Amino acid sequence: MYTLGDIPRKGALYYPDNEAIVFEENRLTYGQLNRRINRLANALTKMGFSRQDRLAVLAENTHKYLEIYFAAAKLGMSVTPLNFRLSETEIVHIANDSEASCFFAGDGYEAKAAAMREHLHAIKTWVALDNPSQGFMAYEEMLADAADTEPDVTVDEDDLAVLMYTGGTTGLPKGVMLSHRNILTGVINANLMSNLSSEDATCFVLPLFHVSFWPAFCLLLAGGKVAINRKADLDEILRIVQDERCTHMNAVPTVYGWLLQFANVDAYDLSSLKLLSYAGSPFPPEILKQCMEKFGPIFAQGYGATETAGGAISFLREEDHVLSGPRMGLLVSAGKPSLCSEIRIVDEEGAPLPANETGEIAVRGEHVMLGYWKNPEQTGNALRNGWYHTGDMGYMDENGYLFMLDRKADMIVTGGENVYPKEVEDVLYEHSAVSMAAVVSAPDEKWGERVQAVVVLKPDHKATEDELITFCKSKLGGYKYPKAIDFWDSLPTTPVGKILRKDVKETFWKGHERSIG
């Protein structure tokens, strides 16, 4: 049996004096990290928390975020990470739906958490990670008063470890139940596919509230170093790579595009880098080629999902990233099935399709989620006959390479964040001037895809683009509101009046090589 809590436990056994985590002025060896994790676990136990309890975290990247993941894992508790970009209404819904009873607020989010307290009735304990706050326990004081011995709790591989919320086609986020087995399968798979070892160091730049947490777990499993960047600041990212001699970084294509255009990039020594992995949003082939020319032939792509614990469904290795010859076409592929995955392309009845025929991508493996929290109907729809049906459309060629074509559910991925059109459309329909609305993805040089709305106004009503965008911004997280709104006289519909999003989307993607990454 192996659980998430075994990562720091084994790390302290095998690499006690090796540097495990670097975050700002904090540097922790494996031994120090494990003792801090144990102190947190024992503090939570002393406060009455136990196996199967849940906690929520609202924070930017910090070493303490990883300590919370691991301490909860050692107790058999689960973590619900909260996207700090969401509105207070959305966060309240997730925290309440998850039934979390302990709430951790990071640096700068104490006031936001305090403002939601009256709506979060199940929370028994509030903890401030960094700043003294009225009504909050102080994180470091909790640790100082607790023992650093290993908790005496039996945790099973199939216990719930992370309850992570992702967007839903109904407009409400779905809680994805990820077990220790799910997460560790993905982590071990990523280690093997990426050849990460105790000699490596990752510059961790993506949010820890996301399944992009996998590089941190991978390097700690392998005995390497995790250098954490609080949030996306290009100078700080480059400084970390240079000063910590990072060999790896995982980011969305948007970040690499920013680095490509960043004036200061040549001022830093990036010679230590051996692998730059990417996932989460489209990587326009031309921009990818420029990045390879700039940073070297060291890119690799992973295609995964929250429902697969971030574990790659498929993987496009460095040797498949070539700039000339017939294999150059693989730059638009999602690669071959990863070591932990089986992939099928299936028709609407779930029957497998032959090579080069388009259908829905289905995946099977131990990294596939337990199901959706308190939602057996959606679980049944997604997990059928032992396969997770991703909702993504694509085909596999005769050599086993996967090519993705579109998202069955019209999901938009912008800057690595998932947006479901209906949620945005529902907000637009709340505006008194809107008669019809369709939200689709559109190509965007900065974000890969942007949230694009098309609106039909009611007769004798007026509204401007700025007015509707401001209206949406007041009700949705920062990455969800439309970045552009077009006004049409009508929208294409089916004979029964259903808006044809696909037809709307095609008007924005004409002339582009592919409509998703």
pLDDT of residue 425: 87
Give the chain's length.
517
Q: Quickly name the fold that domain 412-509 has.
A: GMP Synthetase; Chain A, domain 3 (3.30.300)
Report how far residue 478's alpha carbon sits from residue 467's, in angstroms, rounded to the nearest whole number.
16
First to last CA, the chain: 36
For 354, phi then psi, to 5°, come to -75, 175
Report how far residue 290's alpha carbon sits from residue 287's, in angstroms, rounded to the nearest whole number.
5
Contact 162, 183 (CB under 8 A): yes
pLDDT in tens, 68-102: 999 999 999 999 999 998 889 889 999 999 999 99
Q: Which one-letter DSSP state was computed for residue 163?
A: E
pLDDT in tens, 252-274: 887 888 898 888 999 999 999 99
Q: Which tokens go with 360?
A: 């829905």
Question: Looking at the chain, which residues constitute the CATH 3.30.300.30 domain(s)?
Answer: 412-509
Bridge partners of 352, per DSSP, are 346
Entry pTM = 0.83
Q: Which tokens go with 174?
A: 């779905």
Contact 70, 135 (CB under 8 A): no
Q: Which one-letter DSSP state was computed for residue 165?
A: E
Report how far residue 320's alpha carbon sits from residue 17's, in angstroms, rounded to the nearest whole number.
37
pLDDT of residue 282: 57
Question: Looking at the chain, which residues constitute the CATH 3.40.50.12780 domain(s)?
Answer: 6-301
- The three-point CA angle 361-341-517 to 5° equals 45
Report how far residue 290's alpha carbon sits from residue 303's, in angstroms, rounded to the nearest whole number.
21
pLDDT lower than 70: segments of the chain: 1, 167-171, 281-282, 284, 406, 409, 494-498, 513-517
pLDDT of residue 517: 41
Bridge partners of 451, per DSSP, are 441
pLDDT of residue 107: 95
CATH for the stretch 6-301: 3.40.50.12780
Tokens 């090579």 belong to residue: 355
SS (H, E, C) 240-251: HHHHCCCCEEEE
pLDDT of residue 281: 61
Amino acid identity of residue 45, one-letter, is T
Q: Which tokens go with 148?
A: 């650093």
